[in-house]
Amino acid sequence: MPLLSARALSKSFGGLRALDSVDLELAEGEILGVIGPNGAGKTTLFSLIAGSLAPTSGEVFLDGARVSGLPAHRVVRSGIVRTHQIVRPFPNLTVLENATVAAIHGARRAPGHARERAAEVLAFAGLADRAGHYPGVLTLAGRKRLELARALATAPRVLLLDEVVAGVNPSEAMALAALIRRIRDERRVSVIMIEHVMPAVMSLSDRVTVLDHGKKIAEGTPSDVVRDPGVVEAYLGRGHAEANP
């Protein structure tokens, strides 16, 4: 049985159909990439799975238990956590406090207090030396790590990463990618990642799902998906798809 499964997820905002009957499955220990042109509905998908938004129709199951319809904080406590495309650290809390707050309601409580678990997560994410600083003094890469660490502090089973690699320089991007792999390998967290940075998503993902205009248009291994004509058309237009079969 898949760890996470979403069935026929749809979301409409008034007349706009942001997501149209999308199915998704995540196996335990898998890294699933989600790609697609801008406006395809990827972040909306995350919002539905994480409980920030309620689906217009469709359901989400974690380990067989229904999580769709639960408020966001409940979903986190069940074991699914998301990061934000534009990072949202708590500016009035230090880096350590940011992680601590998240550790208070962790899903898989490791023994020890919230502050200890937070410190451990910060060390894992390479932010131990920044623990006492406020997010305002961190670089963008630092804040992305914080966003990641904070999510990790909730001891999730599923981590939804929304464009974590985008916007940082190549060496930082590689470091973040390595971190994501370690998250899956060492902490047994399954990952779904939205990304535009193709090298990252293609090298990290076991499977890739492609969305366009709210619909799933392809799914498979990275190499399969890259060659799928529908995907090429979605990104580059019909001319390209026909010219390069």
Partner 1 sequence: MTLRWPALVPPRAAGAFAAAVAALAALPALLDLSAYTHNLVTLTFLMVAGALAWNWMGGFVGQVSFGHAAMFGVGGFVAARLLLAGAVPAPIAWLLGGAAAGVFALGAHPTLRLRGPYFSIATIGLGEATRLLFTYWEDFTGGSSGLSLPIDPDLKFRLYWWGLALVALVAAASFLIRRSALGLQLLAIKADVDAAADVGVSATFHQDLVFALSGAVVGVTGGLWASYFSFIEPNDMFGFDRSIGFVLMAVIGGVGTVLGPALGAVIFVLLRQYLLASYPQLYLGLYGTLLVLIILFEPLGLTGLLLRLWRRAARRPEPAPAAAGGGR
Residue from 77, 181, 187, 213 touching partner 1 (CB under 8 A): that is 77
Judged by DSSP in three states, 150 sits in: helix
CA distance 10 to 20: 5
Strands 4-13 and 16-26 come out as antiparallel
Q: Would you count residue 54 as binding partner 1 (CB under 8 A)?
A: no
Residue from 37, 56, 63, 90 touching partner 1 (CB under 8 A): that is 90
CA distance 134 to 95: 6
Q: Would you count residue 113 as binding partner 1 (CB under 8 A)?
A: yes
Residue 120 is classified by DSSP as H
Residue from 8, 54, 110, 137 touching partner 1 (CB under 8 A): that is 137
Stretch binding partner 1 (CB under 8 A), from 62-70, 100-108, 193-201, 231-239 = 100-108
State the DSSP string of 198-213.
HHHHHHH-SEEEEEET
Q: Would you count residue 136 as binding partner 1 (CB under 8 A)?
A: yes
Residue corresponding to tokens 């049985």: 1
Residue from 105, 184, 187, 213 touching partner 1 (CB under 8 A): that is 105
Amino acid at 82: R
Q: Would you count residue 55 as binding partner 1 (CB under 8 A)?
A: no
Distances in Å between the Cα of 237 and the Cα atoms of 18, 139, 244 are: 20, 36, 11
Residue 139 is classified by DSSP as -
- 10 within 8 A of 22, measured Cβ to Cβ: yes
Residue from 7, 133, 184, 215 touching partner 1 (CB under 8 A): that is 133
**Maximum Cα interatomic distance, the chain, rounded to a whole number of Å:** 59
Comparing CB distances to partner 1, the nearer of 87 and 231 is 87
Residue from 5, 12, 17, 115 touching partner 1 (CB under 8 A): that is 115
Q: Would you count residue 236 as binding partner 1 (CB under 8 A)?
A: no
Comparing CB distances to partner 1, the nearer of 33 and 89 is 89
- 139 within 8 A of 169, measured Cβ to Cβ: no
Residue from 114, 166, 175, 241 touching partner 1 (CB under 8 A): that is 114
Comparing CB distances to partner 1, the nearer of 22 and 160 is 160
Task: Using CB under 8 A, list all residues that contact partner 1.
Answer: 50, 52, 71-74, 76-77, 81-82, 84, 88-93, 97, 100-102, 104-106, 112-116, 119-120, 123, 128, 133-134, 136-137, 150-151, 153-154
